[in-house]
Amino acid sequence: MNIKFEEKYIADDSAIVIGLPENIKELKNFDELDTLLNGLTEEIISANVLSDTFGKVTTTGVTIQRQYRKVVAVGLGDSSELTALKVQKAVGKLFQFMDGEKDSQAQFILDTFAFEPKEVADAIGMMSAVSNHVLMGYDTSDKKQFRDELDVTLITKEDVKAGYDHGAALGNSIILARDFATMPPNLLYPESFADEVAVQFKERPYIKGEVKDFDTLVQEGFGLLAAVGKASVRKPRLVTIEYKHPDAQSDEPIALVGKGITYDSGGYSLKTRTGMRSMKYDMSGAANVVGMMDAISKLELPVHVVAVLALAENMVDGNGMRPDDVYQSLSGKTVEVSNTDAEGRLVLADAVYYASTTYNPKIMMDFATLTGAVIQAIGEDRTGVFTNQGRKFINNLLISSKVTGEDIWHLPISELEDDRVKQSDIADLINADFKPGGASFAAAFINQFTEETPWVHFDIAGTSNTSSTTPFAKKGSTGVMIRTIVDLIESGTLYE
């Protein structure tokens, strides 16, 4: 998107884009707006030509210097109830409407949004990236990304560039994650994903990276990650990205761990032909962790963060992992495999153990499209959250999730699940028991490998994708939790 900043409206071919709060006359720039709308602002609203109902986008025309100009308005409702999240939703709806109208030039009259101009600019930066984004390059049409064809001028006397840049940086990190998640699995597999990540972070300040290949993983004892990935001709990788800002307050890092099953056929516990569809998205946890690292490093947040991505393809082969096999994990604990389709917890077990013991993190968070059971429990629109600490530990996370609107729900793990994961007749642990409460079982399994590092597990099986368009995303991958974790880190409350 081509972006410019001006203090005043400049008559040209652009659509005039405004926010319409109720009590429009209370806007501090009402007279400026009313002049643009030919002195008819109140009549236009009372005749329902333009709507102030929250989230509703309407359009009309005015004459300015004897030229016809298009006006696009988004209703904001009661301005005293506006939040940054509501402004983002309104702006997302605006961009989706403008995409449909094929608008290519727009001047946003920022003060009509009845909210802090810097926050509105931030919303415009982020939502211009995320609200209409689709992955390009996999069909033969020459269609273009909406925002690439769009010229936007932000009209305000305030300096809003930093706000816009912040939103645009975050938005671009989200669509980076979505693009990885959406890429077809014949093209994105452990090795190519690792290569693409390396390219992404090359020459970024304060970043170090490492990729362990299959032979290294076997040699170093990553027995579970190796077992899950060995059937594929595309062998597993473990990717580490470390970001350490010189002003980072704590030497102990935040660890972000991502499940990256680049394709999940289920293995010998094979999925059904309908259940297998969309399993390219089973690396969304890893993709979203890449998005978080991208945002954290671009925004140069003063923190020390280590990302660990466990990448494997779960396939079928004569050499594949069987139900009944027993493998030794990196931690030394042995695991009986009862279900080869419960592979995410296996790769995460080695990854969280590696992160805990190598980096001694102050807090560790893992992100995984882990269980269908979490969707059964809390629906498709909430992320299930589990922790080995008390509820207070996730208070600030809950606050950040309210700020971003990415709903989370705290689910239990206790001795009940600890007993269940230890019920193997032959090994230390078993990876599935086919009983209700599968999301808690999976979380408790991973917790066997956290080495008592304070840990939060995010089961994003429901929220990694959306089946219908929202202001934040078209149908498909969402990049869920990137906004929340960035907000949590920016709020400075992560360690409280």
205 to 72, 147, 244: CA distances (angstroms): 41, 28, 9
Question: Among 93, 234, 259, 345, which one carries the catalytic annotation?
Answer: 345
- Contact yes or no for 456/401 (Cβ under 8 A): no
Q: How far is the CB of 342 from Zn ion (least distance, A)?
A: 6
Q: How far is the CB of 261 from Zn ion (least distance, A)?
A: 7
Q: How far is the CB of 279 from Zn ion (least distance, A)?
A: 8
* Interface of this chain with Zn ion, residues 378 to 417, rule: CB under 5 A: none
Q: Determine the size of the site formed for Zn ion (CB under 5 A).
A: 3
Nearest alpha carbon to residue 133 among 181, 201, 71: 181
How far apart are alpha carbons 57 and 428 in whole angstroms? 59
Nearer to Zn ion, 343 or 366 (CB): 343
- Which two three-digit tokens encode residue 413? 């793990």
96 to 92, 127, 198, 279: CA distances (angstroms): 6, 10, 33, 28
Amino acid present at 277: R
For residues 304 to 323, the per-residue mask of contacts with Zn ion, x marking binding by CB under 5 A and - elsewhere, is: --------------------
Nearer to Zn ion, 264 or 459 (CB): 264
Angle among Cα 194, 304, 214 to the nearest 5 degrees reads 25
Nearest alpha carbon to residue 194 among 238, 227, 256, 231: 238
Q: Dihedral (C-alpha) 328, 425, 417, 480: value to the nearest 10 degrees?
A: 40
Q: Which residues of 270-308 are buried (b: 16+ CB within 10 A; e: fewer)?
A: eeeeeeeeebbbbbbbbbbbbbbbbbbbbbebebbbbbb
Q: At what angle do helices 161-182 and 482-491 cross, to 10 degrees?
A: 140
Residue 449 backbone phi and psi in degrees, to 5: -120, 10
Instruction: Pick left, alpha or beta for residue 39 (phi over 0 → left; psi -120 to 50 → alpha; otherwise beta).
Output: left
Verify whether residue 345 is a known catalytic residue.
yes
Angle among Cα 164, 169, 173 to the nearest 5 degrees reads 145
Nearer to Zn ion, 265 or 400 (CB): 265
CB atoms within 10 A of CB 423: 11
Nearer to Zn ion, 242 or 264 (CB): 264
* Interface of this chain with Zn ion, residues 43 to 72, rule: CB under 5 A: none
Q: How far is the CB of 438 from Zn ion (least distance, A)?
A: 12
Q: Which residues of 114-137 are buried (b: 16+ CB within 10 A; e: fewer)?
A: bbbbbbbbbbbbbbbbbbbbbbee
Q: Scan for tokens 């509105």, then name that residue.
A: 120
Q: How far is the CB of 282 from Zn ion (least distance, A)?
A: 7
Question: Among 56, 271, 298, 333, which one carries the catalytic annotation?
Answer: 271
In the bound complex, which residue of the shown chain has the CB atom lying closest to Zn ion? 341
For residues 337 to 366, the per-residue mask of contacts with Zn ion, x marking binding by CB under 5 A and - elsewhere, is: ----x-x-----------------------
Q: How far is the CB of 347 from Zn ion (least distance, A)?
A: 10
For residues 147 to 176, the per-residue mask of contacts with Zn ion, x marking binding by CB under 5 A and - elsewhere, is: ------------------------------
Q: How far is the CB of 345 from Zn ion (least distance, A)?
A: 9
Strands (E), 282-355: 304-314, 326-328, 334-336
Q: How far is the CB of 429 from Zn ion (least distance, A)?
A: 17
Residue 459 as a binder of Zn ion (CB under 5 A): the answer is: no
The stretch near Zn ion (CB under 5 A) out of 229-237, 259-267, 318-326, 445-453 is 259-267
Q: Which residues of 212-245 are buried (b: 16+ CB within 10 A; e: fewer)?
A: bebeebbeebbbbbbbbbbbbebbbbbbbbbbeb
How far apart are alpha carbons 218 and 212 in whole angstroms? 10
Nearer to Zn ion, 125 or 344 (CB): 344
Nearer to Zn ion, 343 or 433 (CB): 343
Nearer to Zn ion, 193 or 281 (CB): 281
Considering only residues 122, 264, 313, 350, which one is a binding residue for Zn ion as defined by CB under 5 A? 264
Q: How far is the CB of 59 from Zn ion (least distance, A)?
A: 47
The stretch near Zn ion (CB under 5 A) out of 2-10, 202-210, 249-257, 261-269 is 261-269
Q: Go through the chain and tell me how many residues it has.
A: 496
Nearer to Zn ion, 52 or 366 (CB): 366
Verify whether residue 435 is a known catalytic residue.
no
Nearer to Zn ion, 53 or 338 (CB): 338
For residues 180 to 219, the per-residue mask of contacts with Zn ion, x marking binding by CB under 5 A and - elsewhere, is: ----------------------------------------
Catalytic (active-site) positions: 271, 345
Query: Which residues contribute to the site for Zn ion (CB under 5 A)?
Result: 264, 341, 343
